[in-house]
Amino acid sequence: MTKFAKYLPALTWLKSYQGADLKSDTVASIVFTIMVIPQSLAYAMLAGLPAITGLYASILPSILYSLFGTSRSLAVGPVALTSVMTASAVLPFAVSGSEQYATVAILLAFMSGVFLLVLSLLRLGFLTNLLSHPVISGFISASALLIVIGQLKYLLGIQSEGDTLLPLVHSLYLHLNNINFPTFILSLASITSLLLMRRYFSTLLESLGCSAQAIQLFGKSGPVLVVVAATATVALLSLEKMGVSIIGSVPIKPLGINMEGINWKIVEELLPSAFLISIVGFIGSVSVAQSFAAKRRQDIDPNQELVGLGLANIGSAMCGAFPVTGGFSRTVLNADCGSKSPMTGIISALLILLTLLFLTPLFYYLPKAILASIISISMLQLVSVQDLRNLWRFSKKEASLLIITFSVVMIEGMETGLIVGVILSILCFLWHTSHPHIAIVGRLPGTEHFRNVQRFTVETHPSILTVRIDENLFFANARVFEERLQSLVSQNTAVKHLILMCTAVNMIDASALQSLEKIVDRLADSDVKLHLSEVKGPVMDRLKDSKLLDNLTGQVFLTQYQAIQALEDKQTKS
């Protein structure tokens, strides 16, 4: 059982699952389903697909992740960021709303799923570490802002094209004279109502005498009432005849993939987009899963998460939908509804399936403006100005990285912005590690501790120079390190012993080893002996396999204090 649980994590929580848990999860699933349906419809529209596709993407993916994922809280389905990345990736190949567009979106979901499974098999989840916090923050803020700007056409009832800032703004400007005022008024009313419901609905329920449990369950369901009211208003006043765009007839049959519209060229050109969607989705999903797991003292296996999310995306493709991942808002909603286990995801999926089979006629008069309002309000919360302020105070270099990523995403698009951000992150890392902090240290009086001579009042010996490098030694900094040591010795002509304090050195590569060998020879020519101290076990194991220790003119000391004592005694005797 334990062996199979490694590959099917659901066996772990099902083993202790009880009737009380099922009752709690069923209630949570009902409330969650009611509230998540409008959100799923909105995100499908964001992906450039029929709104109903959002429900297809919420069925099989949710079931598969519940069975194969390791988080007991994460809710998987359509998410704004992956939805807009899908639209950005698919638009170059087809017109939104066409059969070819749906085919490419489905293919993209399948490819994203395969990428995640491959990453899992090769245990390459560490690649996600290439996305630093400034890059992620700049990317998310810019993407959210682009999404909001892109929704203005639905909020104003006009046409616009483009997926980056300049084309979007230019297109909106050209069509401003064509604003549909019924749509505009409906949008204003919807946004105002959604904001009021979000802030005051729980307080209203409390004032009406509702129980604490009812408030917890339904306190966030206010947006559902706004959706119902907006839909009823459109239907009763026949606003669709006045130009208000509605969902219209909803086909129950999922979209299918047309193999005639697929060729290897399309597959090759989709590879970068599929990879980026996979990475961004995985990072967001694991971050959310880990934060909730920490609160509940549960464990998350990132490698198994790759499997769960990979199968979820393949399941989405099988349903004729688009890429999915674990979303923060969905997960918070899931937790607030009282979810106890991943069974909530399975029950919710079945409830959404029943909705598809029997309740789709209710969506006919659903105005696209209300879906755009839901998207816009959700996205504006992701635009973090405070994050930039904090980064600017902490590190202007990293704040600049955020600003550059943000700007490139806004002007050139999400994929280009993300790639530029990753490249700049790597370049910043290489610059930092190639310019290591190298300090001359001395002993704090009366202790065995050694600190930087420029920061502390310390004891030093004129013929003994101790240098501490606060970085690993590798090809990027080997030459800098070599030149720095040579310079320090040249400036201290009385030095006879140079101790290299290796407290922060966790790795030495071949280039750095060669530099150390050169340093030994050059110092020997100057009648200076090189000693090592505080060398870590793994580093010493590597050095034992080299010729450095055989050619070392000095000694290897266990601690810096022992080194100073031994050399000072030797100097005193001589």
Q: What confidence tens digit (pLDDT) does each residue in 346-399 have?
A: 999 999 999 988 888 888 999 999 989 988 888 888 888 898 999 999 999 999
Q: In percent, how much of the chain has pLDDT > 70?
A: 96
d(Cα 370, Cα 42) in Å, to the nearest integer? 9
| Dihedral sign computed on CA atoms, order 500, 506, 509, 511 | negative
**Residue 456, Cβ neighbours under 10 Å: how many?**
14
Most confident listed range (124-138, 252-266, 269-283):
269-283
Per-residue confidence band for 191, with pLDDT thresholds at 50, 70 and 90: very high
460, 488, 519, 520, 573 from 529: Cα distances, Å: 17, 14, 10, 7, 17
Please report the pLDDT score of residue 128 as a whole number: 65
**Chain segment 535-552, per-residue pLDDT in tens:** 999 999 999 989 999 999
**Chain segment 152-181, per-residue pLDDT in tens:** 999 999 988 888 899 999 999 999 999 999
Please report the pLDDT score of residue 313 as a whole number: 96
Tokens 């969506």 belong to residue:
363
| Dihedral sign computed on CA atoms, order 289, 290, 296, 300 | positive
Q: How many CA atoms lie within 13 A of 454 on its CB side?
A: 6
d(Cα 433, Cα 439) in Å, to the nearest integer? 15
273, 486, 511 from 482: Cα distances, Å: 43, 6, 11
Q: pTM for this structure?
A: 0.82
Please report the pLDDT score of residue 19 as a whole number: 82
* 3-class SS of residue 272: helix
Please report the pLDDT score of residue 217 as a whole number: 66
Residue 346's φ and ψ, nearest 5 degrees, are: -70, -45
**Chain segment 527-537, per-residue pLDDT in tens:** 999 999 999 99
Please report the pLDDT score of residue 327 as a whole number: 82
pLDDT greater than 90 at residue 316:
yes
